[in-house]
Chains A and B, each alone.
Chain A
Amino acid sequence: MRPGGSILSHVLRHLVLIAGLVIMLAPFVWMVSTSLKPPNEIFSTKLSLLPTNWAAVENYTKAFTKVPLLRYLLNGVIVTGGIFLLQLMVSLPAAYALAKLRFKGRDILFTMVLIGLMIPAQAPAIPRYVMLYEVGLLDTYAALILPFVFSAFGIFLMRQFFKTVPDDLMHAARIDGLGEFEILWRIMLPLAMPAMLAFGVISIVSHWNDFFWPLIVIQTGDLATPPLGTLFFRNEEAGSDFGPLMAGTVVITAPLVLLFLAAQRRFIEGVTLTGMKG
């Protein structure tokens, strides 16, 4: 399908896209704008994006000093990084087995993965909480990481990718002397980079932004993830100091935006699963 030739349809198409862009971007722009303003301008009735009196330095200094924002960011990195690494260690072998090995019960296992895909994270929250309580892991990093190590989505995504790798490649590898784990590590893993990157972005973004689970299992402020950190922020500041709060949220959002921008091209490759071309 070639794009329609008429100028009118071009203009219309771009108008629709621009409208969508404005709706999507407005809250972020407002967040950045608010983080630069002093309190009196935030509550002013006048609509203006740029402040007349800049309060950026005050707001950002406050954000970093009132609460341990860097600590929250570090927690976020530890938790999302830990989750993603462990997810890979589980998903890659599982997905390889489900995609490429023949064994009894494989289809049932895969159906279970698909069912797992449909269960919302909130549904097993209480049993998980109880289990963590029983083993005494509440209020630790482990409580933030362990429940997400098994990722139905990760297994599904990687399996779909492995399915596209020709069987002959594994056959050749077996004849060349590679065992199954070495096929996974030396052949499949390098080929699966785009899919892994896509999964990485999705996994890291969702766990970085997760508010529900950390709120349940974390009491100690030192273990708070970034979104939970902003909650502590609000409590301490009685919810009126929006400038620093927005400065904090800008700092928390920025790493994700940077991550996505860096991985954008390969991320889209991975999601569309076009990585494998002999």
Chain B
Amino acid sequence: MATISIEGVRKSFGPVEVLKDISLEIADGEFLTLLGPSGCGKSTLLRIVAGLERNDAGAIAIGGRRVDELPARDRDIAMVFQSYALYPHMTVAENIGLPLSMRRMNVWQRLPWLGSLLPGTAAARKTIARDVAEAAQALEIGPLLGRKPGQLSGGQKQRVALGRAMVRHPAAFLLDEPLSNLDAKLRVQMRTELTELQRRLGATMIYVTHDQAEAMTMSDRVAVMLAGRLEQVAPPRQLYDDPETLAVAEFVGSPKINVIPVESGFHAVRPESMQLVAPYEAGALAGHVRLVEHMGSESLVHVEVRSQGAPLIARLDSHSERNPQRGEAVGLKPLPHRVLKFDAQGRRVR
């Protein structure tokens, strides 16, 4: 396992600058998530770390070793792709074993038929089969080793892709939206499994996703990326409670944070920090209820306020005594110590 250091990395595709001076240090054994909307450059950054794209400027080091000039195979990293990218003509065992046979056997030993005749081939194959079986057991895909990817379900393919990454114990794992092709239930389950796997292996992981639930639940730290820039890198809790910029405050959290324009810039208030009060209470924003969403454990009350463009949202506990009706006149009052203040450029004012 190793640290990863990204320093001043830039990348353009033609006239479009997709990465603007990215610097990021990832600790040994850390689970870091790159979170951002599609097109923000997070996958490109991951591909640059992997060695599948070249950076125009800046430096990448893995385990203290500069790797910019190295091809992907010499960087000692493994990658899991959104599409899984399993080799369709190979069995599960061959898929998982391929990175090992590329490393432990020479060109001649890898040849079909002829390779079997050479000294050392049989021994190498034996150790590979043992390691493959071990990885398969850890991921509970032992019984699938003889199948082809076409005969597997999405979740099984996902495990095979993980197995192929794990089997050679790389210095770091790079995961590019690995869960986004799974159905909702399986995604939640794999989220937990993946976190446990990462803890067990003590692996350094960079995990790319646009799903903030994944980012918030799995990561040690989250790096929020917007339009080719790192907006903030922080642990999930801090990102939510203490965002550096308005953009981060707006991107993280569902439902979206309430943004209220004020003279000096913006005030932003999370829905759970919005109190529902009587319409003409002092300091309250008056409006009427437009929609109430009952979510079971909580209700989201959308309130139309005249001075605001979009409705503001307040979150009510299910055991709250208030039960606002659509059209009812209400007041909204932020908890004073929970108001996040930003200047006109969207930078945090403390």
Identify the A interface with B (CB < 8 A): 166, 168-169, 171-178, 182, 187, 190-191, 276-278
Q: CB-nearest residue of chain B relative to A193? A: B89
User: Contacts A176-B98, A176-B164, A178-B73 hold; do A171 and B88 have CB atoms under 8 A apart?
Assistant: no
- The 5 A-B pairs of least Cβ separation, nearest first, read A177-B102, A172-B85, A168-B85, A176-B99, A177-B73
For the complex, what is the distance from the CA of A173 to the CA of B71, rounded to whole Å?
12
Given A166-B85, A177-B99, A171 contacting B73 (CB threshold 8 A)? no
- B residues contacting the other copy or chain, number (CB 8 A): 26
User: Residue B91 at the A interface, CB < 8 A?
Assistant: no
For chain B, residues 32 to 59, give those with C-beta under 8 angstroms from any C-beta of chain A.
47, 50-52
> What would 14 more interface pairs be, CB under 8 Å, given A173-B87, A175-B73, A178-B102?
A169-B87, A171-B52, A172-B81, A174-B71, A175-B52, A175-B72, A175-B79, A177-B73, A177-B102, A187-B87, A190-B89, A276-B88, A278-B83, A278-B88
19 contacts between A and B (CB under 8 A): A166-B83, A168-B81, A168-B82, A171-B50, A171-B52, A172-B79, A172-B81, A172-B85, A174-B51, A174-B52, A175-B73, A175-B79, A176-B73, A176-B102, A177-B102, A178-B73, A178-B102, A182-B102, A190-B89
B207 near A: Cβ within 8 Å? Answer: no
Provide the bound-state CA to CA distance between A276 and B81, in Å.
18
CB distance from B285 to the nearest CB of A (A): 49
Given contacts A176-B98, A177-B103, contact A278 B164 (CB under 8 A): no
- List residues of chain A with CB within 8 A of the CB of B47: 171
Residues on B with beta carbons closer than 8 Å to the beta carbon of A178: 73, 98, 102
Write the nearest CB–CB distance from B78 to chain A, whole angstroms.
Answer: 7
Q: Whole-angstrom distance between the alpha carbons of A178 and B164 in the complex?
A: 14
Q: Interface residues, chain B, CB within 8 Å of chain A?
A: 47, 50-52, 71-73, 77-79, 81-89, 98-99, 102-103, 149-150, 164
Closest to B79 in A: A175
Complex Cα–Cα for A36 and B211 (A): 75
B87 touches A174 (CB 8 A): no
Q: Which of B77, B79, B86, B88 contacts A191 (CB 8 A)?
A: B88
The listed residue (B51, B79, B84, B99) touching A278 by CB distance below 8 A is: B84
B85 touches A171 (CB 8 A): yes
Nearest-neighbour CB distance to chain A for B6, whole angstroms, equals 18
Q: How distant is B72 from chain A, measured CB to nearest CB, in Å?
A: 5
Report which residue of A166, A173, A182 has the largest number of chain B beta carbons within 10 angstroms of its beta carbon.
Answer: A173
Contact A278 B78 (CB under 8 A): no
Closest residue on chain B to residue A187 by CB atoms: B87
Nearest B residue to A168, CB-CB: B85
A276–B85 alpha-carbon span in the complex (Å): 12
Contacts of A166 in B (CB 8 A): 83, 85
The answer to whether residues A278 and B149 also contact, given A171-B52, A177-B102 and a CB cut-off of 8 A, is: yes
